[in-house]
Chains A and B, each alone.
Chain A
Amino acid sequence: EIVMTQSPATLSVSPGERATLSCRASQSVSTKLAWYQHKPGQAPRLLIYGASTRATGIPARFSGSGSGTEFTLTISSLQSEDFAVYYCQQYTNWPPGLTFGGGTKVEIK
């Protein structure tokens, strides 16, 4: 099983600042990586797929990069609605299947 490790677990950022979230895979997943935003009580929302392609309707302040085992989600200027938990997910290893990272909580500093 491919293990996805996200860091940091919690990121304290002021509105308007840049946030950089990391996701590391235990083995190469090429660019088969997605990022999700999850707010309490809401459905998770797809942000990025293919490591760097924004999903439909996702603002340009969200960007993804990386390949192989190291990936980054960058939020260029945090808005109030961006405070949430972010998960990465790999989808290269079928079977046995996909795995999620443990999440990074972006909180208001």
Chain B
Amino acid sequence: QLQLQESGPGLVKPSETLSLTCTVSGGSISSSGYYWGWIRQPPGKGLEWIGNIYYSGSIYYNPSLKSRVTISVDTSKSQFSLKLTSVTAADTAVYYCARMEWLHWFDPWGQGTLVTVSS
């Protein structure tokens, strides 16, 4: 059974860089036909797609975040990562990683990790 687990600091200072890693287990991150994505949910708000990456390196970013986001993949570690620069309080959210069937739907998702931006 495929499982994804987010990890990273739960507290980031304003203007600094948020860094998270998603570890994939129970399946191959290099499987054909699957992208790997990041989604976030600010407190009390809905879901926002951040971006996704294919094991070969093809990447798509949400245009509203593109200038601050970098997603990368390390197939040797079965991990993919998110970096979000110049964070503000508006970036406080639960961050989820998920597998994406081609550029379609997300399934399954990780449990999510809360990242708070505060000094």
Contacts and interface: CB of A to CB of B under 8 A. Distances in A.
Interface in B87-119: 96, 98, 101, 103-112
Interface residues of A, number: 25
A93 to B, nearest CB: 10
B48 A100 contact: yes
A102 B60 contact: no
A92 B46 CA distance: 20
A55 B104 CA distance: 13
Contact of A100 (B46, B98, B108, B111): B46
A98 interface: yes
Contacts of B110: 43
B111 A97 contact: no
Contacts of A96: 62-63
A36 B47 CA distance: 11
Chain A residues touching B, majority SS: loop
B111 A32 contact: no
B104 A91 contact: yes
Contacts of A32: 104
Interface string A40-61: 0011111001000001000000
A89 interface: yes
A74 interface: no
B105 A91 contact: yes
Contacts of B104: 32, 34, 49, 91
A48 B7 CA distance: 28
B60 A97 contact: yes
Nearest to A1: B63
B41 to A, nearest CB: 8
A45 B108 CA distance: 7
Interface in A63-109: 87, 89, 91, 94-103
18 contacts: A1-B63, A34-B105, A38-B47, A43-B96, A43-B108, A43-B110, A43-B111, A44-B98, A46-B105, A46-B106, A49-B101, A87-B47, A89-B105, A89-B106, A98-B49, A100-B47, A103-B46, A103-B47
